[in-house]
Amino acid sequence: MYRLFKAKKGVAVDDFFSLLFVVIVFVIFILVFAVFNTNKDNEAKKSIEEKIDKIDGNYNLLQFLRTPIDDKDNVADLVVESYLNDDFDEFRDTADNFFNDIYEPNWWKLQLDFPDGTTKSFGGYGAFSTPQHTCVNRVLIAKTDIPLINFESLTVNLFSLELGLC
């Protein structure tokens, strides 16, 4: 290689191939570095987006539970009242109205876990008319507890529904 820069008459054929080899190795090194760097950027971006979704989900769930129903009650009170009376029609309508404005309609699910081990789910009604060989994945984006009178609590889970392959 030293001869390449000392030669007065130009580049010899054997010098050309060594220079070409060095250029090819350098290009391969740059491409490999760029590919690995892009993967790290994508992973970091996805991680940040997931954290933002969780923050938004927690905020939305708490806003929903604090939404006033009448002069003295909010949605959290409505959840407890619905549980005690075993009538969730008003709660279902309230949840649909609130979450269909925030998330894509029917691509969210609200699940109530009661102290006796039973659950009730709301939302996600249109999500099950999906193409064949796809599954609907539930991604938990928020969770909170509501205390009941008897020192127990019920858990409210907010899920985002995503399509995935089975």
The answer as to whether 157 is a domain residue is yes
Cα pseudo-dihedral 116, 127, 161, 87, rounded to 10: -30
Residues found in the chain: 166
pTM over 0.85: no
Indicate if the pLDDT at residue 130 is higher than 60.
Answer: no
Mean pLDDT along residues 64-73: 90
Give the pLDDT confidence of 73-123 residue by residue, as tens digits. 999 999 999 988 999 999 999 998 898 888 777 788 899 999 989 999 998
| Boundaries of domain holding 134 | 58-165
The answer as to whether 36 is a domain residue is no
Give the pLDDT confidence of 13-23 residue by residue, as tens digits. 567 778 888 88
The answer as to whether 17 is a domain residue is no
The answer as to whether 37 is a domain residue is no
Number of domains comprising the chain: 1
